[in-house]
Structure 1
């Protein structure tokens, strides 16, 4: 099963692109067959069909994120990536509430 279905995830991708449009040095690529976002070359977010994986979210922000959203680790073909936190997004309108965490992952990516 692919991580990102381009038909089912189209509205999420469009909304996420808009969410990060004002962040500088962001480029979109494809990784694991998913839209992936880099800040000055460092990965900070990966879209999955029904959510977003934040790859650089600081540990001190994870608790607050888990209080607001359903979260879990990213699973890459049976290999769990515990440093990445995957967030379920049921409705693209939720992205605005997710924005502070996306920005935190982006900022962590910028500082390496």
Structure 2
């Protein structure tokens, strides 16, 4: 990959433009996800009893997903993850992504 030029840096996301010798280009995005993972771990560890008020029903936080990962999932599923709750649940219940969960529940 050719040397890149920084396009933008916002909210811990860095976008780098790479111009290739064959007149194509690539935009590479990186994100410091550690603060998000630390937050999710803290929330997960502080979760406590599942019967506490605010931990049941339809509207409570269950995960914190880094933006670059969310964008990757959207691309991988051709946008289906935006409309398919089961697909999102499958991702979040996968042991590979357990570090994004903020509660010890099955989604």
Instruction: Output the TM-score relative to the length of structure 2.
Output: 0.26
Larger radius of gyration: 2
TM-score, normalised to structure 1, is 0.25
User: Could you say which structure has the higher strand fraction?
Assistant: 1
Which of structures 1 and 2 has the larger relative contact order (alpha carbons within 8 angstroms, sep 6+)?
A: 1
